[in-house]
């Protein structure tokens, strides 16, 4: 689970993150975001989902 980050987590490495399910599985119409240094991970489309660095 260490590869998955919860929405709202601060100070993550910059780069692209993709939305994943609660156990890391793919989700339909997954959101992909790019964050810069010092940015916070945005909310996911549904409760219980996480972010994974691409």
Residue-by-residue pLDDT tens, the chain, 54 positions: 468 999 999 999 999 999 999 999 999 999 999 999 989 999 999 999 999 999
Q: What is the pTM of this model?
A: 0.89
The domain segmentation of the chain, as residue ranges, is: 1-54
Question: How far is C-alpha 18 from the chain's CA centre?
Answer: 5
Q: Which residues of 14-45 are buried (b: 16+ CB within 10 A; e: fewer)?
A: eeebebbbeeeeeeeeeeeeebeeeeebeebe
Contact 38, 11 (CB under 8 A): yes
């Amino acid at each position: 689970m260490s590869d998955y980050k919860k929405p709202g987590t601060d100070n993550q490495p910059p780069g692209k993150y993709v939305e994943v399910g609660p156990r890391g599985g793919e989700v339909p119409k997954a959101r992909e975001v790019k964050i810069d240094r010092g940015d916070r991970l945005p909310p996911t489309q549904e409760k219980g989902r996480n972010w994974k660095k691409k």
